[in-house]
Amino acid sequence: MNTLTTNTETTNTEVLQLVSFNLGNEEYAVDILKVQEINRMVEITSIPNAPSYVEGVINLRGKVIPVINLRKRFGLDSKEIDSHSRIMVVDVGTTIGLIVDSVSEVLRLPSDTVEPPPPMTAGSGSAEYIKGVGKLADRLLILLDIEKLLGNGAQVLLEHA
């Protein structure tokens, strides 16, 4: 009977499917259902008077989409775009491109291995878009709520684009 109960508990544990990416030395992840595609860097057209973290717009199969540099959005030091840099195209009610240092992998993470955001982030303004911290065997993964991260800015971006 205990074995059956354990198996039932195991199957009731929700499994998160995530796309992980790097910014500097940190690894982040977003819900795979929000990610439409991942592209190599292409030429980005600047938009005058856009917020500093907005790199500009790209033409993605005939559709103009705004592109945000996540390093700048998070206040990290800038880094030259290199062969590992990617534009991760996400859907948050509108389509937006995110420049990341590299995309790591698609992974499955049991929801019971995710801890709430550390209390230190509460006053920093970042707590609102950090869902939690996923514990993997040899690393930690910061889970982002991409809708909260980009939600307010999406309208501003569309107005500029």
To the question of pTM greater than 0.85 for the whole model, the response is no
**Domain at 13-160, CATH homologous superfamily:** CheA-289, Domain 4 (2.40.50.180)
Q: DSSP assignment of 70-94, as one string? A: HHHHTTPPP----TT-EEEEEESSS
Cβ(48)–Cβ(64) under 8 Å?
Answer: no
Write the pLDDT tens digit of every residue in 45-65: 999 988 888 999 999 999 999
- Residues 5-50: pLDDT tens digits? 444 444 567 999 999 999 999 999 999 999 999 999 999 999 998 8
Domain residue ranges in the chain:
13-160
